[in-house]
Amino acid sequence: MPGVEAVSLASTVPFGNFHEGRLVERPGIPRDEKMNGPTYRIISSDYFRSLGLRMIKGRDFSAAEEASAGAARVAIIDEVLARQLFPGEDPVGQTIQFTQREGAGDTDYGPMQIVGVSPTMREELMDQGDDAHIYVPYGSSYRPAMNVHIRAASADPKALPPLLDAVRRELQAVDSRLPILDLMTFQRFHENSLELWAIRTGGRMLVLFGTLALGLAVAGVYGVKSYLVSRRTREIGIRMALGADSSSVVGMIMRESAGLTLAGLAVGLPIALLAGKLLSSVLYDVSSWDPLVFVLAPIVLASASMFASYLPARRATRVNPLAALRQV
């Protein structure tokens, strides 16, 4: 079809609600019990091209391997599984097999030759890209329900709805009885994820709580600084009575306030960096020392401190020195 770069089939979809796993081992070598079973996916050729990925080593499945159940048994593994099963070795051309499960009705335990190594792929939102994957061709592992992956030639959002409509028409033209359960862009599929909604909702709540905490900190800093400066009204009156002008008095107050503010930031920033480092293990896709946060928050607090010092000092210089001297 015009506007389509690549098309492929897959039994499951990354970030979907359903995942499959199989235990894998090298023939004749006991399996490492600490190794988790890799994600198992049945695919057709051009799968990685449909996702915009390039094979690291070896090749993709051939047309015969994709279409024929009698073709030679082959598999593609990703970098993670290659490191687990073949440390320091080239896995292409070597043999692996699925670990036989007691009581399982599977019959595909024969040896499979590795024909390619694919890049790592994130399977879930909280996945850090360290989960292993194994891929087998559609021809040797038939599934009645599959996901069609289509890579559009254009990333223009306006071009995607007409393309989806054309895809639906073409599929129905092949067989009008073929059930198309859903047809959407991967972006929309991702947005519909319940896990993503929970993470975003939690993120928005944390942003709200952080903003409230910053607002309380600003109010506290402003209140304390304003109170401390207003307590010096009598001192300011004495300085004014002895001949000091308002600009020199305000400058003195601002310099003292700036020194105290810088001292507070010098103590608080390392503590904040240490706290962020301790919390880094529970953060998702964000750095524990976001430059925006560590620049914006000190600027806001420092501005509140200086503003709280300037207003009372400026107001005190306008008070009659005799009235200021009468204050206790």
Is the pLDDT assigned to residue 280 strictly greater than 60?
yes
Is the pLDDT assigned to residue 69 strictly greater than 90?
no
Is the pLDDT assigned to residue 227 strictly greater than 80?
yes
pTM across the whole model: 0.69
Is the pLDDT assigned to residue 106 strictly greater than 70?
no
| Residues 214 and 113 reside in one and the same domain | no
Residue 168 located in a structural domain: no
151-207 per-position pLDDT tens digit: 998 888 888 888 899 999 998 999 888 888 888 888 888 888 887 888 888 889 988
| Residues 30 and 100 reside in one and the same domain | yes
CA distances from 142 to 66, 78, 128, 136, 137 (A): 10, 22, 30, 10, 9
Residue 183 located in a structural domain: no
| Residues 132 and 199 reside in one and the same domain | no
CB 38 within 8 A of CB 32: no
Residue 251 located in a structural domain: yes
| Residues 229 and 88 reside in one and the same domain | no
The C-alpha atoms of residue 158 and residue 161 are separated, in whole angstroms, by 7
| Residues 108 and 220 reside in one and the same domain | no
Nearest Cα residue to 35 out of 69, 73, 89, 83:
83
The CB-side HSE value for 96 (13 A sphere, CA atoms) comes to 26
Residue where a domain terminates, one of 125, 153, 181? 153
The C-alpha atoms of residue 13 and residue 122 are separated, in whole angstroms, by 11
pLDDT of residue 105: 54
pLDDT of residue 291: 82
- Region of 112 on the Ramachandran plot (φ > 0 left; ψ -120 to 50 alpha; else beta): beta
The C-alpha atoms of residue 317 and residue 327 are separated, in whole angstroms, by 14
Q: Which of 50-59, 62-71, 294-303, 305-314 has the highest mean pLDDT?
A: 50-59
pLDDT band for position 113 (50/70/90)?
very high
pLDDT band for position 321 (50/70/90)?
low
234-272 per-position pLDDT tens digit: 777 777 777 778 888 888 888 888 888 889 889 988 898
| Residues 251 and 317 reside in one and the same domain | yes
Residue 175 located in a structural domain: no
pLDDT band for position 107 (50/70/90)?
low
3-class SS string, 154-166: CCCHHHHHHHHHH
Q: What is the mean pLDDT of residues 52-79?
A: 87
Which contiguous run of DSSP H or E holds residue 233? helix 233-241
19-35 per-position pLDDT tens digit: 888 888 888 877 777 67
The two structure tokens encoding residue 86: 């073949």
Structural domain containing residue 315: 195-326
Is the pLDDT assigned to residue 68 strictly greater than 80?
no
Is the pLDDT assigned to residue 284 strictly greater than 70?
no
The C-alpha atoms of residue 272 and residue 276 are separated, in whole angstroms, by 6
Residue 184 located in a structural domain: no
If one counts the domains in the chain, the total is 2
| Residues 200 and 92 reside in one and the same domain | no
Nearest Cα residue to 5 out of 149, 188, 157, 111:
149
